[in-house]
Amino acid sequence: MGQPTNIDTADQADKLHRRGLLFILSSPSGAGKTTLSHMLLKQDGEIKLSISATTRPPRPGEIDGVHYRFISDAQFDQMVEEDDFYEWAPVFDYRYGTPKGEIRNGLKEGQDFLFDIDWQGTQQLYQKDQQDVVSVFILPPSLNELRRRLEARAQDSDEVIDSRMDRARAEISHWAEYDYVVINDNVDECFDRVREVLDAERMRRTRQTGLIPFVRELMG
C-alpha cells in the first residue's frame, strides 16, 4: 500500500499548479532565433507565441488575432495612454506592442508565452514584469558564419547585408543583459539547450504556486 501512495504523490507533484513565464528569445538576424522559435512552438504544447498589436495593415494571408492584432492609430494611442502594453516600439512607419490583458490572465493559469523581440523590447518587458521574464540571447558561432548565413538566404544586396551586420554587432553588445546566452553552432544542439533552460525555469520554486498547500498536506 505504501508504494502506490508514493507514486500518487509523485504524480500529484508533477501536476502542481505553477505560474506561467514570459520566455524571450533574442538574436541578431541570421543567428537562428526564428528557426528556434518555430521548433519550440511545434514541439512544446505548453507555450504559445505572444501576439503583438500593430498599426500596420495586414499583408495577404495574414489573419487578425493569429498573426497580429491589427488596430488603428487611435486605438494604439489609447492603449499607450492606459498603459496597456508590456512593451511597444515604432518600426519604420508603424508601431508594434505587446498587450497585457490576455498575457496576465494566461500567466495566472500557468500558460507560458514566447517572445521574439530585440534587446529594447526585452528591457521594457523586464521593467514591467521582472518576476515572470526569462530571457535567452542566441549568439552565432562567429561573425563570418553570421554573414555566410545572411548571404545564403540570397534575399538581400551586399549593402543590406552590411547594414544587417552593423546592426548585429550593436545587438550582440547587449548580450550581458540576458539571463542566458546560447551559441548556435548547431541548431539541434542549440534547441536542446534552449529547452533545458525552459524546463528548469518552469520548475523554479517561486513559480510553483501549488507547493505550499501540497507540502502542508504532505506534512499532515
Question: For the segment 113-124, what is each residue's pLDDT rounded down to a tens digit?
Answer: 999 888 988 998
If you average pLDDT over every residue of the chain, what do you get? 89
Question: For the segment 82-108, what is each residue's pLDDT rounded down to a tens digit?
Answer: 999 988 988 778 999 999 988 999 999
* Per-residue pLDDT, 164: 87
| Spatial separation of the C-alpha atoms in residues 5 and 109, rounded to whole Å | 27
* Per-residue pLDDT, 4: 45
CB atoms within 10 A of CB 152: 9
Q: How large is the average pLDDT for residues 138-162?
A: 89
* Per-residue pLDDT, 91: 79
What percent of the chain lies above the pLDDT cut of 70? Answer: 94
* Per-residue pLDDT, 99: 92
Q: Does residue 198 register a pLDDT over 70?
A: yes
* Per-residue pLDDT, 219: 93
- What one-character-per-residue DSSP string does 39-96 give? HHHHH-TTEEEPPPEESSPPPTT--BTTTBEE--HHHHHHHHHTT-EEEEEEETTEEE
Q: Does residue 38 register a pLDDT over 50?
A: yes
* Per-residue pLDDT, 14: 57
Amino acid found at 114: L
Q: Does residue 11 register a pLDDT over 70?
A: no
* Per-residue pLDDT, 154: 76
In this prediction, residue 10 has a pLDDT band, given cuts at 50, 70 and 90, of very low
Q: How large is the average pLDDT for residues 68-80?
A: 96
**Whether this model's pTM surpasses 0.85:** no
- What one-character-per-residue DSSP string does 91-153 give? ETTEEEEEESHHHHHHHHTT-EEEEE--HHHHHHHHHH-GGGEEEEEEEPS-HHHHHHHHHHT
| Spatial separation of the C-alpha atoms in residues 51 and 137, rounded to whole Å | 20
* Per-residue pLDDT, 48: 94
Q: How large is the average pLDDT for residues 154-158?
A: 80
Residue that wins the pLDDT comparison between 160 and 80: 80
